[in-house]
Amino acid sequence: MFILKKKAKIIVAALLFAAVAAAGYLIEKLEKDAFVVETVAKDDAVSYVFEGDAEENGKININTAGVTELVKLNGIGEALSQRIIDYREENGAYVTIEEIMKVPGISENKFDAIKDYICAK
Protein backbone atom coordinates (compact mmCIF):
# COMPACT_ATOMS: atom_id res chain seq x y z
CA MET A 1 0.00 0.00 0.00
CA PHE A 2 1.27 3.43 -0.92
CA ILE A 3 1.01 6.32 1.42
CA LEU A 4 1.07 9.63 -0.38
CA LYS A 5 1.46 13.04 1.10
CA LYS A 6 -1.24 15.63 0.55
CA LYS A 7 0.76 17.41 -2.18
CA ALA A 8 1.34 14.14 -4.07
CA LYS A 9 -2.36 13.26 -3.84
CA ILE A 10 -3.26 16.62 -5.38
CA ILE A 11 -0.78 16.10 -8.22
CA VAL A 12 -2.06 12.57 -8.90
CA ALA A 13 -5.68 13.80 -8.84
CA ALA A 14 -4.82 16.67 -11.22
CA LEU A 15 -3.07 14.27 -13.62
CA LEU A 16 -6.03 11.86 -13.55
CA PHE A 17 -8.45 14.72 -14.15
CA ALA A 18 -6.35 15.95 -17.09
CA ALA A 19 -6.20 12.44 -18.58
CA VAL A 20 -9.97 11.94 -18.28
CA ALA A 21 -10.66 15.40 -19.73
CA ALA A 22 -8.30 14.77 -22.65
CA ALA A 23 -9.92 11.39 -23.34
CA GLY A 24 -13.38 12.96 -23.24
CA TYR A 25 -12.33 15.72 -25.64
CA LEU A 26 -10.78 13.20 -28.02
CA ILE A 27 -13.89 11.00 -28.01
CA GLU A 28 -16.15 14.01 -28.61
CA LYS A 29 -13.98 15.21 -31.49
CA LEU A 30 -13.91 11.77 -33.11
CA GLU A 31 -17.68 11.39 -32.73
CA LYS A 32 -18.21 14.83 -34.27
CA ASP A 33 -15.96 13.91 -37.24
CA ALA A 34 -17.83 10.62 -37.65
CA PHE A 35 -21.14 12.51 -37.56
CA VAL A 36 -19.95 14.89 -40.26
CA VAL A 37 -18.88 12.00 -42.50
CA GLU A 38 -22.18 10.20 -41.88
CA THR A 39 -24.19 13.37 -42.56
CA VAL A 40 -22.36 14.01 -45.82
CA ALA A 41 -22.98 10.43 -46.92
CA LYS A 42 -26.68 10.71 -46.06
CA ASP A 43 -27.03 14.09 -47.79
CA ASP A 44 -25.39 12.66 -50.90
CA ALA A 45 -27.66 9.64 -50.78
CA VAL A 46 -30.70 11.91 -50.81
CA SER A 47 -29.44 13.95 -53.74
CA TYR A 48 -27.95 11.31 -55.96
CA VAL A 49 -28.53 7.78 -57.12
CA PHE A 50 -25.47 5.72 -56.17
CA GLU A 51 -25.71 3.37 -59.17
CA GLY A 52 -22.80 5.34 -60.59
CA ASP A 53 -21.84 8.91 -61.18
CA ALA A 54 -24.87 10.82 -62.40
CA GLU A 55 -22.68 13.43 -64.06
CA GLU A 56 -19.63 12.78 -66.20
CA ASN A 57 -17.59 15.57 -67.78
CA GLY A 58 -20.40 18.02 -67.03
CA LYS A 59 -22.98 15.84 -68.77
CA ILE A 60 -25.83 14.01 -67.08
CA ASN A 61 -25.59 10.24 -67.48
CA ILE A 62 -29.06 9.07 -68.46
CA ASN A 63 -28.21 5.55 -67.29
CA THR A 64 -27.56 6.54 -63.68
CA ALA A 65 -29.28 9.89 -63.14
CA GLY A 66 -32.28 10.19 -60.89
CA VAL A 67 -35.16 12.62 -61.15
CA THR A 68 -33.13 15.31 -59.35
CA GLU A 69 -30.47 15.33 -62.08
CA LEU A 70 -32.78 14.84 -65.06
CA VAL A 71 -34.99 17.82 -64.22
CA LYS A 72 -31.91 20.02 -64.68
CA LEU A 73 -32.21 19.39 -68.41
CA ASN A 74 -34.04 22.00 -70.46
CA GLY A 75 -37.67 20.98 -71.00
CA ILE A 76 -37.51 17.90 -68.77
CA GLY A 77 -39.87 17.96 -65.82
CA GLU A 78 -40.44 15.46 -63.02
CA ALA A 79 -42.98 13.37 -64.94
CA LEU A 80 -40.76 13.06 -68.01
CA SER A 81 -37.75 12.33 -65.80
CA GLN A 82 -39.66 9.47 -64.23
CA ARG A 83 -40.55 8.11 -67.69
CA ILE A 84 -36.86 8.20 -68.65
CA ILE A 85 -36.03 6.21 -65.50
CA ASP A 86 -38.97 3.80 -66.02
CA TYR A 87 -37.88 3.13 -69.61
CA ARG A 88 -34.33 2.44 -68.41
CA GLU A 89 -35.57 0.05 -65.71
CA GLU A 90 -37.86 -1.82 -68.12
CA ASN A 91 -35.52 -2.00 -71.13
CA GLY A 92 -32.04 -1.86 -69.64
CA ALA A 93 -29.37 0.78 -69.97
CA TYR A 94 -29.42 3.24 -72.84
CA VAL A 95 -26.76 2.22 -75.35
CA THR A 96 -26.73 5.60 -77.13
CA ILE A 97 -28.16 8.97 -76.19
CA GLU A 98 -30.46 8.82 -79.26
CA GLU A 99 -32.28 5.91 -77.65
CA ILE A 100 -33.86 8.37 -75.21
CA MET A 101 -36.19 9.38 -78.05
CA LYS A 102 -37.99 6.05 -77.52
CA VAL A 103 -39.33 7.49 -74.25
CA PRO A 104 -42.84 8.88 -74.77
CA GLY A 105 -42.62 12.67 -74.68
CA ILE A 106 -39.05 12.97 -75.98
CA SER A 107 -39.42 14.34 -79.49
CA GLU A 108 -36.57 15.01 -81.88
CA ASN A 109 -36.77 18.72 -81.01
CA LYS A 110 -36.56 18.00 -77.30
CA PHE A 111 -33.65 15.62 -77.94
CA ASP A 112 -31.84 18.32 -79.94
CA ALA A 113 -32.23 20.67 -76.96
CA ILE A 114 -30.64 18.22 -74.49
CA LYS A 115 -28.23 16.09 -76.55
CA ASP A 116 -25.19 18.23 -75.71
CA TYR A 117 -25.91 17.85 -71.99
CA ILE A 118 -26.40 14.08 -71.71
CA CYS A 119 -24.32 10.92 -72.05
CA ALA A 120 -25.04 7.18 -71.92
CA LYS A 121 -21.88 5.61 -70.50
How far is it, in rounded angstroms, from Cα 7 to Cα 117? 75
User: CA-to-CA distance for 28 and 23, rounded, in angstroms?
Assistant: 9
Q: Per residue in 6-65, pLDDT tens?
A: 888 899 889 888 888 888 777 776 666 555 554 444 444 443 333 445 666 789 999 999
Query: pLDDT band at 3, cuts 50/70/90?
Result: confident
Mean pLDDT throughout 57-81?
A: 92
Question: Domain residues of the chain, as ranges?
Answer: 1-47, 55-119
Task: Give percent above pLDDT 90 in the chain.
Answer: 51
CA end-to-end span of the chain, whole Å? 74
Q: Is the CATH code 1.10.579.10 the one for domain 55-119? A: no
Report whether pLDDT(97) > 90.
yes
Whether the model clears a pTM of 0.85, i.e. scores above it, the answer is no
Contacts for 65 with CB less than 8 Å, ≥ 6 apart: 49, 54, 55
CA distance 15 to 115: 68
